[in-house]
């Protein structure tokens, strides 16, 4: 998610926020939430987000999104939300059903529309939610007059959905991620736990839908990927060897990111200042949009 998002900075005015409002649908430990906000900020900055080229802030620093979410909610058909697979999938996996989780796509639509976004980088799993945002923008414009830009999805097909170590979609909710900033022992253990089939060592290994190859493709050069694929097809090596190879590839790739994060972690006040500056810029844009919305719906001051 970070790579395609960060690649857009400098191409226009770009907005990046830490979704702490959304996090409350599944995390209600205040201390843990505060810590995770800092960690996500460190992750983005370590991975190359430049606060001089972009607007980086906490979602909760722009409370105007909730007012916009209400205006969108009164136009949102129940059926539109009932068809959203993410809610049904999370509930089926044991996440507690609550209104916030159910109405998540409306708040996400407000997050997008309040900044008059042209393009939104998403994975395939979030494409449906972006369609909800588009539907609500069109519905609002039709009912109240042209107010919102209708955003377009930006899906990087090469990694539109990345598999986790168990073969399902990689997600913290499923506990199947490889944490790129984990210590070496934990990182190695996660890579070595990647699910593989029972093909014997001497036989060729399938390369279609290979979790090892799909994860490697995110960081490997075309030559490295071709070599791994050829070796799998040739046979003669066990999956353990390929997992070790993948670990080395990932560990080396993220080394400069880890160094940068370690430096930033020494100065949390600097990170907070970046988020605060971003919030000022984000709120200015959000309030401009909200003024237009209030006039459109008839709630502006007389």
8 A C-beta contact, residue 58 and residue 277: no
Helix, strand or coil for residue 178? Answer: coil
Q: Which of 9, 28, 23, 222 is nearest to 121 (CA)?
A: 9
The DSSP call for residue 121 is E
Would you call 169 a catalytic residue per the annotation? yes
Per this entry, what is the length of the chain?
302
- Which one of 169, 195, 229, 272 is the catalytic residue? 169
Q: On the CB side of 62, how many CA atoms lie within 13 Å of its CA?
A: 34
- Pairing label, strands 119-121, 152-154: parallel
Helix, strand or coil for residue 246? Answer: helix
- Which one of 88, 124, 172, 189 is the catalytic residue? 172
Q: Which of 178, 184, 170, 177 is nearest to 255 (CA)?
A: 184
Would you call 90 a catalytic residue per the annotation? yes
Q: Which of 285, 210, 194, 204 is nearest to 237 (CA)?
A: 204
Q: How far apart are CA 264 and CA 91, in angstroms?
A: 37
CB within 8 Å of 213: residues ≥ 6 apart: 207, 225, 228, 229, 232
* Structure-derived torsion over alpha carbons of residues 268, 270, 272, 275, reported in degrees to the nearest 10: -140
What amino acid positions are annotated as catalytic residues? Answer: 90, 169, 172
């Amino acid at each position: 998610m970070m790579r395609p998002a960060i690649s857009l900075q400098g191409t226009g005015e770009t907005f990046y926020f830490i979704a702490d409002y959304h996090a409350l649908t599944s995390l209600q430990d205040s201390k843990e939430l505060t810590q995770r906000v800092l960690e996500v900020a460190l992750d983005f900055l370590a991975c190359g987000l430049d606060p001089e080229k972009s607007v980086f802030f906490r979602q909760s620093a722009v409370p105007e999104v909730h007012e916009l979410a209400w205006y969108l909610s009164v136009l949102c058909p129940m059926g539109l939300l009932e068809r959203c697979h993410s809610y049904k999938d999370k509930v089926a996996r044991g996440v507690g059903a609550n209104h916030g989780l159910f109405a998540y796509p409306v708040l996400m639509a407000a997050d997008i529309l309040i900044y008059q976004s042209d393009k939104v980088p998403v994975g395939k799993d979030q494409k449906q939610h972006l369609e909800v945002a588009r539907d609500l923008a069109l519905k609002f414009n039709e009912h109240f007059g042209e107010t919102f830009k209708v955003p377009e999805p930006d899906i990087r097909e090469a990694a539109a959905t990345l598999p986790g170590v168990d073969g399902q979609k990689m997600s913290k909710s499923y506990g199947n991620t490889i944490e790129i900033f984990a210590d070496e022992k934990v990182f190695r253990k996660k890579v070595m736990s990647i699910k593989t089939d029972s093909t014997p060592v001497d036989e060729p290994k399938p390369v279609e839908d290979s979790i090892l190859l799909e994860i490697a493709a995110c960081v490997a050069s075309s030559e490295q990927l071709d070599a791994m694929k050829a070796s799998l097809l040739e046979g003669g090596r066990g999956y353990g060897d390929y997992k070790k190879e993948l670990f080395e590839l990932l560990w080396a790739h993220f080394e400069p990111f880890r160094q940068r994060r370690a430096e930033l972690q020494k100065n949390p006040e600097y990170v907070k200042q970046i988020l605060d500056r971003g919030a000022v810029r984000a709120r200015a844009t959000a309030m401009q949009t909200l003024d237009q919305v209030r006039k459109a719906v008839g709630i502006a001051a007389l």
